[in-house]
């Protein structure tokens, strides 16, 4: 069995930043690190007590969850969902793109979350919610669930005779969630998609949820009916990237308008948790009307943790290494020490993230010292690399990006998973990072419906307009084309791009006729985005949210938004984004156009191997191969071995202790000595 030092030298840093990830708790692939129950135990209990009150008296409540950057707010939300998902339904609601759409944004993300399947369950939260309603306690009603639709609706209307908005249509759509042919259409209607007339007719509804009032009422429907079952917890998180007012304050009042409206309906079983950085709340709380601030039932402030808790955090991360070692080290912190914590934090308190970052630094230094102190390290031609800070940051950023990209690609399966304001916001963030000049939102400013679906920017002497709308409803498409026509007539832009994957209607449709006038044989273009392009934009958007909220960790830093933008540009990752290529924003960095898919994949694997080595100081060859196989299962063992050999031949990496037995060898990045 290997010694603890051999395991540390050959293994991944247990404090690697990719395991610090926070954000949407429904988009996590797996638990990258175990929970430390003693951290913020009291605060978790306080929230649980409020949740219990909501479950008992069915009165809505609001909790303000505050704390410094890195204190663990998003992580606490994740723990809350993990521990209490059997007692409540959880919705994660991130930043909204436009405050004029905040109710529709809240409804969309609530329904999206309700469609998620909790751990150890086979059904989604939404199905579990329906099954737990008292109306279904009668076995005969359950039998009728797949039978008479009209009877189902009548039974639910009798059970909930008051307060339900548009009851007949709402209950009818709930019924259709159990119809395999209509399930996705019913889901799309509930989340507020602008469906075409045929879909609306199939559901037996007159119109889509196309207004703030309608979205508010549908959300309240869920709250009222859930008083008969478990509470629904609305978790608002990463609020530093919400729209700003003209004086640069956050438009936090928009959220508290929503919150106060929820409180005005009772009974309902909604618990709102607003997670926000303490300083952000202090700067912006005066923008919230006092009548809305009093709707906050409890404030839970995450304090810094003690060094005892910091020790527990280190010990938990180091535990898997210790278990593999023979003999086991006497200290559960080995090779770290309590003294290192006391030296770094003389006040005796700090944040969980700071403890993790310090752990990464110290383990990295220890790995370097192990190699340098080994008698079998190759010298003098090759030396252990001390990567420039930016090179280390770029390598770490690429690994963080890959993790977030893979997670996004797994969860986002349709472009319509996002609405127009969200799509254009994500595109705007990417353009800003790529230093595109003169970006102005709301090109279609004359349109009350589609203004937030558009933007413009400067390209030399020309103004370029972008409109991104995926509404399948052809009446909406007609109004969109009218708005585009007005913009061109008024010369607000010289070139207009319509970004749209959905159809454009039959030739006989009025919307299609205007479409042909604008985009057929002119300077204006229609681009059909691919799903992978959305994955690029959504990945960057998630990282922007994390950076703005002070939750993103790259190497040993918490980059600001401006530093994140530099990393995106320097990494050239989005040069692979087809949509940005089609817009002429980036040029392909993917090699020869004739290069086949396999060769492109091999280049990606090679880059991944190099990034792992650059961020790990040293790593065992087998551990390196295992990570490559895990991330790229379509690559075989021999191809991975060939790529490692290529990187060694090109002097990007080397076996630093070639005189040791193969199972004790370690790979490091190298630099050529002059």
Quick: pLDDT tens for 190-218.
Answer: 999 999 999 999 999 999 999 999 999 99
Please list the alpha-helical segments (H only) found in 412-552.
420-433, 474-489, 510-519, 531-548
Integer Cα distance of 490 and 510 in angstroms: 21
pLDDT at 144: 53
Worst-scoring range by mean pLDDT, 14-23, 179-188, 331-340, 528-537? 14-23
Question: What confidence tens digit (pLDDT) does each residue in 591-628 have?
Answer: 555 456 778 899 999 999 999 999 998 999 999 999 99
The rounded Cα 631 to chain-centroid distance in angstroms is 19
Q: Which of 531, 581, 567 is nearest to 401 (CA)?
A: 567
Contacts 24+ apart (CB under 8 A), 442-449: 443/467, 443/487, 443/492, 443/493, 444/483, 444/484, 444/487, 446/483, 446/486, 446/487, 447/479, 447/480, 447/483, 449/476, 449/479, 449/480, 449/483
3-state DSSP call for residue 342?
helix
User: What backbone torsions phi and psi does residue 85 show, to the nearest 5 degrees?
Assistant: -65, -20
Residues 6+ apart with CB under 8 A from 641: 625
Give yes or no for residue 313 having a pLDDT over 50. Answer: yes
Give yes or no for residue 19 having a pLDDT over 60. Answer: no
Integer Cα distance of 541 and 602 in angstroms: 27
Question: What confidence tens digit (pLDDT) does each residue in 118-129 have?
Answer: 888 888 898 888
The rounded Cα 349 to chain-centroid distance in angstroms is 30
Mean pLDDT of the chain: 89
| Residue 157 pLDDT grade (very low, low, confident, very high; cuts 50, 70, 90) | confident
> Would you say 359 and 575 are in contact if contact means Cβ atoms under 8 Å apart?
no
Q: Which of 177, 163, 166, 173 is nearest to 128 (CA)?
A: 177
What are the structure tokens assigned to 330, written together? 């006497």
């Amino acid at each position: 069995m290997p010694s603890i030092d051999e395991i540390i030298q050959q293994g991944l840093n247990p404090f690697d930043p990719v395991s610090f990830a926070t954000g949407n708790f429904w988009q996590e692939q797996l638990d990258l690190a175990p929970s430390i129950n003693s951290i913020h135990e009291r605060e978790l209990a306080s929230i649980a007590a409020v949740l219990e009150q909501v479950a008992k008296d069915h009165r809505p409540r609001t909790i303000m969850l505050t704390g410094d950057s890195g204190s663990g707010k998003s992580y606490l939300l994740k723990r809350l969902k993990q521990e209490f998902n059997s007692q409540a339904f959880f919705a994660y609601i991130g930043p909204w793109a436009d405050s004029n759409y905040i109710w529709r944004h809240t409804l969309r993300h609530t329904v999206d979350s309700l469609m998620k399947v909790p751990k150890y369950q086979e059904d989604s939260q939404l199905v579990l919610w329906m099954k737990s309603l008292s109306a279904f306690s009668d076995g005969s009603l359950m039998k009728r669930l797949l039978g008479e639709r009209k009877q189902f609706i009548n039974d639910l209307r009798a059970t909930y005779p008051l307060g339900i908005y548009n009851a007949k249509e709402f209950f009818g759509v709930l019924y259709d969630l159990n119809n395999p042919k209509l399930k996705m259409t019913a889901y799309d209607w509930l989340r507020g998609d602008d469906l075409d007339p045929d879909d609306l007719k199939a559901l037996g509804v007159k119109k889509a949820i196309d207004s703030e009032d309608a979205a508010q009422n549908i959300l309240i429907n869920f709250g009222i009916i859930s008083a008969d079952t478990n509470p629904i917890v609305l978790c608002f998180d990463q609020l530093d990237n919400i729209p700003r007012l003209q004086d640069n304050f956050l438009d936090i009042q928009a959220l508290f308008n929503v919150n106060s409206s929820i409180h005005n309906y009772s009974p309902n079983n909604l618990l709102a948790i607003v997670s926000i950085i303490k300083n952000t709340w202090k700067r912006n709380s005066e923008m919230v009307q006092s009548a809305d601030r009093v709707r906050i039932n409890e404030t839970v402030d995450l304090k810094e943790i003690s060094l005892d808790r910091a020790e527990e955090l280190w010990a938990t991360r180091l535990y898997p290494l210790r278990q593999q070692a023979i003999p086991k080290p006497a200290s559960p912190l080995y090779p770290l020490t309590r003294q290192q914590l006391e030296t770094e934090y003389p006040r005796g308190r700090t944040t969980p993230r700071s403890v993790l970052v310090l752990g990464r630094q110290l383990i990295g230094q220890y790995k370097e010292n192990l190699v340098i102190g080994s008698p079998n390290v190759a010298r003098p031609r090759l030396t252990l690399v001390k990567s420039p800070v930016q090179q280390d940051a770029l390598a770490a950023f690429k690994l963080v990006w890959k993790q977030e990209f893979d997670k996004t690609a797994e969860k986002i399966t349709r472009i319509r998973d996002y609405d127009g304001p969200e799509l254009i916001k994500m595109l705007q963030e990417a353009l800003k990072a790529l230093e595109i000049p003169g970006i102005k939102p709301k090109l279609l400013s004359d349109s009350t419906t589609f203004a937030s679906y558009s933007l413009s920017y400067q390209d030399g002497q020309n103004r370029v307009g972008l409109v991104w709308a995926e509404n399948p409803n052809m009446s909406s498409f007609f109004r969109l084309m009218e708005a585009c026509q007005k913009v061109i007539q008024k010369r607000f832009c010289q070139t207009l791009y319509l970004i749209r994957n959905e159809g454009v209607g039959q030739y006989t449709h009025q919307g299609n006729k205007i479409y042909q006038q604008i985009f057929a044989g002119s300077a204006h273009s229609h681009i059909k985005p691919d799903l992978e392009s959305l994955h690029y934009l959504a990945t960057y958007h998630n990282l922007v949210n994390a950076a703005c909220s002070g939750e993103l960790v790259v190497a040993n830093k918490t980059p600001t938004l401006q530093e994140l933008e530099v990393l995106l540009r320097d990494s050239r990752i989005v040069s692979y984004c087809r949509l940005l290529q089609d817009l002429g924003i980036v040029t392909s960095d993917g090699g020869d156009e004739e290069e086949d898919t396999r060769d492109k994949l091999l280049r990606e694997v090679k880059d991944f191997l190099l990034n792992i080595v650059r961020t790990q100081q040293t790593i065992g060859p087998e551990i390196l191969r295992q990570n490559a196989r895990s991330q790229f299962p379509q690559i075989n063992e021999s191809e991975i071995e060939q790529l490692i050999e290529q990187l060694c031949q090109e002097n990007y990496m080397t076996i630093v202790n070639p005189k040791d037995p193969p199972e004790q060898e370690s790979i490091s990045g190298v630099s050529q000595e002059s």
